[in-house]
Amino acid sequence: MPERISVRLENQVAQVQLNRPDKHNALDLAMFVAIAACQKRLAKDRDLRAVVLSGAGVDFCTGLDVKAMMQNRRNLHKLLWKWLPWRANLAQVVSVGWRSLPVPVIAAVHGRCWGGGLQIALGADFRIVQPDATLSVMEGKWGLIPDMGGTLALRELTARDHAMWLAMSAEEFGARRALDLGLATAIADDAVATAGEMASQLKERSPDAVAAVKRLLRKSWTGSTGTALARETGYQLRILSGDNQRIAVRRQMGESPAFRPAGRW
């Protein structure tokens, strides 16, 4: 069986590609397992600075491979089963797992990005969408609800009535509407190239500051004001005690020391 995910490390950036182009990167059980394993592998790489997530072939991902999953109903149980109700199951990890990485994850979306494919993209920190892309919360067509963790991003990125409409109607929409809804960060003719440029730009910043910003905003976007303020101060004190903040100052003064690996965020 061909590898469901390809991972190529280039200058501290992981180029992660969904690699089932003959099936339009539709999600079978092997794809779910491969994505989760990839996330675990990347989480251990202390030198990693960014991830660019894309799809091989003509589509980013057309969602669940319904035929493959329905051939063996136990596959559905493997996706949905979890020890603790508030923790992510295998279906949800392929989206929310990107949120947990301490480095920025940039999804480069082209072609169809439907159902589970959209939920995977929503797990990224940024989404660069090509003009030809179509997106959809497709689960409604199958009488289902989105259940891969994408609702976490929907509540952060767009208004509740828009999110409800997309999930209820399974409407297909293009890049411009995705941008208007807040589901796309930017539109670009070559999403992978633009994502790579963004990753290179972020590599010029302190890895501790980048990781802290991601964690701070992920944890504080909802919740109490007091907790957000306390977290902000605590993170800043932690950053000030590390080497990378001083290195960032030296780089701004014209020197060129290399950043150290980020601490554990």
The C-alpha atoms of residue 254 and residue 67 are separated, in whole angstroms, by 58
Helix, strand, coil: what percent of the chain each, to 5? 50, 15, 35
The pLDDT of residue 78 is 80
Q: Which of 103, 142, 145, 146 is nearest to 122 (CA)?
A: 146
Tens digit of each residue's pLDDT (9 = 90 or more) over 4-46:
999 999 999 999 999 999 999 999 999 999 999 999 999 999 9
| CATH 3.50.50.60 describes domain 5-202 | no
Instruction: Please enumerate in sequence order all residues whose Cβ is within 8 A of that of 86, keeping only pairs 6 or more positions apart, or say none.
Output: none
Q: What is the pTM of this model?
A: 0.94
Domain ranges in the chain are 5-202, 206-252
Helix, strand or coil, per DSSP, at residue 249: helix
pLDDT at residue 81, as a whole number? 81
The conformational region for residue 51 under phi > 0 = left, psi -120 to 50 = alpha, else beta, is beta
pLDDT at position 137 is 96
- Single-letter amino acid, residue 167: A
Distance CA 6, CA 56 (A): 9
Which tokens go with 194? 């633009």
Q: What is the mean pLDDT of each run of 10 residues along the chain (265 residues)?
A: 88 97 95 96 96 98 84 74 84 94 98 97 98 96 89 94 97 98 98 98 97 95 93 96 96 95 90
Q: Rounded to 5 degrees, what are φ and ψ at 47? A: -90, -10
